[in-house]
């Protein structure tokens, strides 16, 4: 699917067939379409999420000689950090459903001189890798975009060898992540349509700790643990927050691109007011909450 054709459609119109596989392809295409912004902001993303990365690596403890799979890698920050821990002899596969994202991860690896990584185009709901082929699976802010996260968890179980570990991060409750909630709320109010649309995966699909734990337990994983981590977001200005957040969030970018100019202006005004309470002397500072989950295959 040509990603550029996707910008301009709305999430609610996934294509002529309108079925789940069309909707899935549509969502994947939206990520493809924002890959350029992920390349541009890769260092910012890794800095913002450094605390999450550190926790994911602590929870899964990749060791020299081990094989690590990063799912939904985007610009590859987590896998690139893991690559240092598995040397000598280990390997990291940076994977994403969007080929443009894995291309960015590959070029970042080359620029950083990290040689023990490969990239693969993989859908985390249907991981095209052998059974029991990884010691560690990592996924930062990706599992919540699965249409069927229980299936994705079963796939993670399948590719882990016995004794293998998984660590993943998803966004916590919408109410506790105003940096993104405000924009979705604003788009919903402006368009009169719920964003993200009901029944479609979105950033807060796995915001419930018990649901996340159940999904991992249901896949057969053991020692399941879910904890919270505060992750704040800073922007130097309202304009920077708006531009960066909407450029990076695949579904949001598509929604905004489909709005008429007057509606975009209306949205800006709404958001300026909504962001008021988060204004500081240096710009905007939002609190945020991430869920960290870890488990292992017995
Ligand atoms: C919010 S970004 C996170 C990127 C990266 N993990 C990070 O933390 O910087 C979500 C990523 O999930 C990827 N993605 C969405 N659905 C996916 C799927 N079904 N399988 C694999 N990757 C997927 C997108 O292409 C995008 O790169």
- By DSSP bridging, strand 233-235 and strand 222-230 are unpaired
User: Is any atom of ligand 1 closer than 6 Å to the C-beta of 97?
Assistant: yes
Give Cα separations from 227 to 47, 123, 165 (angstroms): 21, 26, 16
Half-sphere exposure of 4 (CA within 13 A, CB side): 1
User: Is any atom of ligand 1 closer than 6 Å to the C-beta of 31?
Assistant: yes
pLDDT of residue 18: 61
Write the pLDDT tens digit of every residue in 15-53. 334 688 888 998 898 899 899 999 999 999 999 999 999
109 φ, ψ to 5°?
-60, -45
Residue minimizing CA distance to atom 20 of ligand 1 = 123
Write the pLDDT tens digit of every residue in 190-243. 989 898 888 889 999 999 999 999 999 999 999 999 999 999 999 999 999 999
More confident residue, 155 or 253: 155
- For residue 74, report the distance from its CA to the centre of ligand 1, in Å: 5
What does the alpha-carbon distance between residue 184 and residue 174 come to, in Å, rounded to a whole number? 10
Host domain of residue 47? 3-296
pLDDT of residue 250: 76
Q: How many domains does the chain have?
A: 1
Residue minimizing CA distance to atom 14 of ligand 1 = 72
Residue minimizing CA distance to atom 1 of ligand 1 = 141
Looking up residue 240, the CATH number of its domain turns out to be 3.40.50.150
Q: Which of 3, 25, 26, 31 to mutate to test the pocket of ligand 1 (most atoms within 8 A of CB)?
A: 31
What is the atom index within ligand 1 of the atom nearest the CA of 124? 20
Residue-level length of the chain? 298
């Amino acid at each position: 699917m040509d990603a550029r054709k996707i910008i301009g459609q709305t999430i609610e119109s996934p294509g002529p067939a309108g079925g789940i596989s069309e909707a899935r392809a549509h969502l994947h295409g939206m990520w493809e379409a924002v890959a350029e912004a992920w390349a541009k902001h890769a260092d910012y993303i890794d800095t913002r999420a450094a605390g999450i990365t550190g926790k994911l690596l602590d929870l899964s403890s990749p060791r020299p000689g081990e094989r690590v799979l990063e799912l939904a890698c985007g610009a590859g920050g987590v896998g690139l950090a893991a690559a240092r821990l598995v040397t000598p002899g280990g390997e990291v596969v940076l994977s994403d459903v969007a080929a443009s994202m894995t291309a960015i991860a590959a070029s970042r690896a080359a620029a950083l001189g990290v040689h023990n990584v490969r990239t693969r185009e993989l859908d985390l709901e249907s991981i095209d890798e052998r059974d029991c082929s990884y010691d560690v699976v990592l996924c930062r802010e990706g599992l919540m975009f699965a249409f069927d996260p229980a299936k994705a968890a079963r796939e993670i179980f399948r590719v882990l060898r016995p004794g293998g570990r998984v660590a993943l991060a998803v966004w916590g409750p919408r109410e506790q992540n105003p940096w993104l909630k405000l924009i979705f709320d604003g788009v919903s109010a402006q368009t009169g349509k719920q964003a993200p649309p009901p029944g479609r995966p979105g950033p807060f699909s796995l915001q419930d700790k018990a649901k996340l734990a159940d999904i991992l337990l249901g896949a057969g994983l053991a020692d399941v643990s879910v904890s919270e981590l505060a992750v704040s977001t800073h922007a130097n200005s309202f304009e920077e927050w708006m531009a960066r957040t909407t450029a990076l969030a695949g579904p949001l970018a598509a929604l905004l691109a489909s709005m008429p100019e007057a509606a975009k202006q209306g949205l800006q005004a709404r958001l300026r007011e909504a962001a008021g309470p988060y204004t500081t002397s240096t710009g905007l500072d939002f609190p945020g909450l991430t869920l960290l989950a870890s488990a292992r295959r017995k």
